[in-house]
Amino acid sequence: MDLGKRVRLLFARLVALAALTFGGIAVLAQPVSAADVGDGYLSCNSGEICFKKNWDSAQYRYIKHFWYGQQHGGYNWGGESGYSGGAISYDVSMVWNRDTSCTVYMTDGYDNWWSYARSSSGYGWVGYLYNDSNWAHTRCSTTRPFGT
């Protein structure tokens, strides 16, 4: 094999290795947003932003928890067996802000925002959003920094 062909082959292998390396880093970086569903427990724990579909006597029916601000599209309700499924977008009736430092803001997607202060007293009605017009929520500001 001539020297030019060996150099081209070596270069092609280096490019492939670089692509695999940087592609792997990009894949490893994705779980931050993919994990944006709270701590995985049914209870609303410190640091979480918790949503509930309806008020009822059972605590763990149709719930969804987040660590960060997030658009709600693509997220489904979780909870007890038989009480999960269905999109949370435009379907939230209650919120509990257990964030450790920030007010949470919820929007209907039309630049109308409602604020929810940190609370230790449990779920509360979403107020003006009683029509369940929740498109997304943010932490600390209304500048739509989703994923933070």
* DSSP assignment letter at 37: B
**The pLDDT value given to residue 129:** 53
- C-alpha angle 127-136-44 in degrees, rounded to nearest 5: 70
pLDDT of residue 33: 33
**Rounded Cα distance, 136 and 3, in Å:** 58
Please give the share of the chain, as a percent, with pLDDT higher than 70: 67
- Global confidence as pTM: 0.69
The DSSP string of 59-112 is TTSSEEEESS-EE-TT-B-B-STTS--SB-TT---EEEE--SS--EEEE-SSS-
Which residues, in sequence order, are CB contacts of 132 under 8 Å at separation 6+? Answer: 90, 91, 92, 93, 126
Per-residue pLDDT, 34: 35
Range picked from 53-62, 82-91, 127-136 for highest mean pLDDT: 82-91
At residue 143, the 3 state secondary structure works out as coil
Averaged pLDDT, 57-79 = 84
Instruction: With a cut of 80, say whether residue 132 has pLDDT above it.
Output: no
H or E element: which one contains 53? Answer: none
As a whole number, mean pLDDT of residues 25-49 equals 64
Confidence bin at 128 (pLDDT 50/70/90): low
Which sequence spans correspond to the domains of the chain?
Answer: 3-32, 37-148
